[in-house]
Structure 1
Amino acid sequence: MTKLIKKAKNVVKSLIGFNRVKNILPQIKGENLNKSKKKLFHISAFNYGNAGDILLPLALQDTWNMENKFFGWENQLIYPTVDSKLVKKINKSKGLIIGGGGLFLKDTNANNMSGWQWPCSVEMLSKIKVPIFFYAVGYNRFRGQEEFEPIFKENIKAFAEKAVYIGLRNNGSIDALKNYLPNYLHKKLKFQPCMTTFLSELYSNEIDFNCDKQNFIAFNAAFDRSHLRFGINIGEILTDISIVLRELSEIIPLKFYSHMNSDETIIPFLQSHGVKYELVRLNNTHPKHILEAYTKPKLVIGMRGHAQMIPFGCKTPIISIVSHNKLQWFLDDIGMPEWGVDVKSSNFKEDLKLKVLKALENTENNIKYIEKKQKELFEISMKNVREGFSALNTK
């Protein structure tokens, strides 16, 4: 555990000038850090090694700042075990916000205090005196993954009883989490979209989200827990993806957007099938660069949750390769389930190519649809923020 914490902190400090553990986040808006004595305490997986996790904490704070800029932020990495010293720091703040990201996962920062990523025991939770909010958190259990340990059910019940609300980033997560809670606590579960899904609403003055799309497709692959994503057919699935990409590369340029190092596991397959592409690494970079990169493509083919949500938030059409339920849950929530192709589909290769070609023919219509849905997701999010501020201890 100590090695994991040390590694995480080193990643966090890897970009010169940005020490997230000490509260300095890279700014997209270019605003000065708020020095207010009124602080919100933020627990998150601050991380430069994964492009999606670079954006998450910043976008969360900017979402809350849209409603009220008179609060500062105290940032805390999610991995260290919660003790009395940390609780004391939390209680000096006006409120505790946990999120965003897929924090309900048993094997990332595995522990026997909570059963999910933040190792906060029920005993330590009972000592927290400020309002608690979960904001844009996901149930990230993979298909076929082992069930949570029994401590998870006890722990999440205690959090649900104490929290003002638990904001989950898709309705699939809400339905899944209900299985661990008694009926009377289901009302604590709220739909709270990931902040990356309405980036153009947050940063309209900083990024040109209405720029003309360039004539290329960006694609992304994911390989964390690949045995759960693909099963025994991994070779066949990756071959099918590579064949489709090669055929697409003959009619439109391709760029491979790598969110983290393990994404590049697909490269030997691409090379063996003669896929022509440009590699673009988005990890360990400034979040503004990530936004600019995702405003450009005509279409994004993504296997990661944030390889669908970030481009969507940047008004860029998407086709998702579904190797985790969360990707389909997002598409269902935005009313476009057909924008996904499941790796388990018997017609996976044919469906993928057909849907990509159809999307390329409907770029403008898809952008208009995205703009409309983004506004809806943003309005839901700001309503939840307003409810949050109304529950804070502002004395």
Structure 2
Amino acid sequence: MNNMKILHLASFTGNIGDEANHSGFRRKLRENLDMNFTYTDLEIRKFYKSWGLMKFDNSFVHLCNSHDFVIIGGGNFLELCWDYSQTGTTIDISIEMLEKIKRPIIFNTIGVDDGKGISQDNIDKFKVFLDYILDSDKILFSVRNDGSKDILKKYFNDSKLDSVHVVPDGGFFLTTKDFYQVEYDKNKVNIGINIAGDMISIRFGDNYNGFCKNFGNYINTILSINDNINIVFLPHMYLDIRIIGETMEYIEDEYRRNRISIAPLLNGNLNGGQYIFNLYRNMDLILGMRFHSNVCSIGQNIPNIGLITYHKHGYLFDEVGLSDRALFVNDSNFFIDLLSKTKDDLNNLEKIKDRYKVVNKKLNNDLDEFHQTIKRFLEGNEKLLAGDLL
């Protein structure tokens, strides 16, 4: 069992947060299990109806059985809004196909989500799927620490949910190498900003243009009261470039030309996560809208303010005991509170870092414990790990 082949089904091309998630998870798994792993990366978007390149069929089963075991996730793949799917989620796999997989399966820090809509039919379909995987000795099921288990409890009143493990996202455990980064000014106070340009109607309702204008004015105010601040925008995917550009329209031209930069948009296969999240590490304060913007700030002990535009991202702060570090963008006093919090945080950065160190110690212990559960799970499925099934 010391050198194992893993089929890893996940998002690898979504945005640079994917790289942070997988990098941190794989590093810790290797250290905790003291094993060597060879990964076959399988992009889950190939199974999306919109791409239509692969199906959860006999070919997929064959691929699973050609590896020692299968990891699905992390990622927010259990959105309960897809009527076409046999499970109501993007993992559109039948019980028949799951039965044919003769290797252990780990659902790793999966996100469960009802934010894009849910129907009773999808609840019923997902219940069949969930019952099967929770009853199966060959499947280990875990959700990430973003309120996913509480969402399950909303729809399923079942003692089986006690066997659902809640596990920190792998992005908390990201490590980065050093780069020369021109965006960072060591002689100034550096504020990194991640704002998200996808899911516009969900994030902002009818107030997208208002957000861009008001956020631009917030930046004007911050820069006007402190001449030593350097602003770095941190895009995670191409749609972030749009909202950054539209926000910049409302920033004073003098500031745009002298005190603001935009980090490069680097996809995962360009080592983008390493570059961008090392840039995070050099920031004094992060304002983060995306899930992994906040995860990777907290995980590196960088003070951050969560700009919450999606309910589950607020649950993340609740679960790690940092509810006061998040502000909800659609609250009427958001920009007043953001300005006040920014000023206060810049005077208390070391206290915030010390608080994050305590949080991260617990997160590390939680993940270490779950990885011992994985070790016992694999040992209990030793027969499935051995032999040629093809």
The TM tier, using the shorter chain, reads 0.7 to 0.9
Moved more, 111-120 or 324-333: 111-120
SS at match of 1:326: helix
Q: Deviations over 1:316-370 (max 9, x none)?
A: 1100111011221111122121111101212111011111111111111111111
SS at match of 2:262: strand
- Post-superposition offset of 1:134: 1.6
Structure-2 change in CA distance of 1:41 and 1:362 (3 Å): same
SS at match of 1:281: coil
Q: Deviations over 1:77-136 (max 9, x none)?
A: 2223211122122124332221112112256x9852332222222221122222222212
- Post-superposition offset of 1:375: 1.7
Structure-2 change in CA distance of 1:196 and 1:138 (3 Å): same
Q: Deviations over 1:202-224 (max 9, x none)?
A: x6xx569xx98962100011122
1:87 aligns with 2:64: no
Contact kept? 1:36, 1:70, Cα under 8 Å: yes
Q: In the TM superposition, what are the counterparts of 1:120-139 in structure 2 within 5 Å?
A: 120-139=93-112
1:321 aligns with 2:292: no
Q: Which residue of the partner structure matches residue 27 of structure 1?
A: none
Structure-2 change in CA distance of 1:282 and 1:312 (3 Å): farther
Structure-2 change in CA distance of 1:138 and 1:248 (3 Å): same
Match of 2:152 among 163, 177, 180: 177
- Post-superposition offset of 1:377: 0.5
Q: Which residue of the partner structure matches residue 126 of structure 2?
A: 152
- Post-superposition offset of 1:60: 2.1
- TM-score with structure 2 length normalisation? 0.82
Look up the equivalent residue of 2:217 and give its one-letter code. Answer: I
Q: How many residues align?
A: 351
Match of 2:246 among 268, 289, 310: 268
Contact kept? 1:214, 1:296, Cα under 8 Å: no
Greater than 4 Å deviation, 4+ residue runs: 211-214
Look up the equivalent residue of 1:121 and give its one-letter code. Answer: S
1:297 aligns with 2:283: yes
Match of 2:262 among 236, 255, 279: 279
Residues of 1 paired with 2:133 and 2:188: CA distance? 46
Q: Deviations over 1:117-158 (max 9, x none)?
A: 22222221122222222212212443xx32155233332332
Contact kept? 2:3, 2:36, Cα under 8 Å: no
Structure-2 change in CA distance of 1:220 and 1:140 (3 Å): farther
1:196 aligns with 2:162: no
SS at match of 1:100: strand
Look up the equivalent residue of 2:290 and give its one-letter code. Answer: R
1:358 aligns with 2:333: no
Structure-2 change in CA distance of 1:64 and 1:140 (3 Å): same
Match of 1:115 among 72, 75, 88: 88
Contact kept? 1:197, 1:309, Cα under 8 Å: yes
- Post-superposition offset of 1:282: 4.1
Q: Which residue of the partner structure matches residue 254 of structure 1?
A: 231
Residues of 1 paired with 2:366 and 2:178: CA distance? 23
Q: Which residue of the partner structure matches residue 332 of structure 1?
A: 318
SS at match of 2:263: strand
1:72 aligns with 2:24: no
Q: How many percent identity over aligned positions?
A: 24
- Post-superposition offset of 1:180: 4.0
Q: Deviations over 1:25-49 (max 9, x none)?
A: xxxxxxxxxx9752222111111x5
Residues of 2 paired with 1:110 and 1:377: CA distance? 35
Contact kept? 2:193, 2:287, Cα under 8 Å: yes
Match of 2:26 among 51, 54, 61: 61
Match of 2:218 among 241, 244, 261: 244
- Post-superposition offset of 1:164: 4.2
Contact kept? 2:20, 2:174, Cα under 8 Å: no
Structure-2 change in CA distance of 1:235 and 1:291 (3 Å): closer
Structure-2 change in CA distance of 1:334 and 1:256 (3 Å): same
Structure-2 change in CA distance of 1:141 and 1:254 (3 Å): farther
Contact kept? 1:156, 1:180, Cα under 8 Å: no
Q: CA RMSD in A?
A: 2.6
Q: In the TM superposition, what are the counterparts of 1:367-382 in structure 2 within 5 Å?
A: 367-382=353-368
Structure-2 change in CA distance of 1:367 and 1:214 (3 Å): farther
Match of 1:223 among 197, 220, 224: 197
Look up the equivalent residue of 1:44 and give its one-letter code. Answer: A
- Post-superposition offset of 1:313: 1.6
Higher relative contact order (CA 8 A, sep 6+): 2
Match of 1:52 among 17, 20, 25: 17
Q: Which residue of the partner structure matches residue 20 of structure 1?
A: none
- Post-superposition offset of 1:193: 0.7
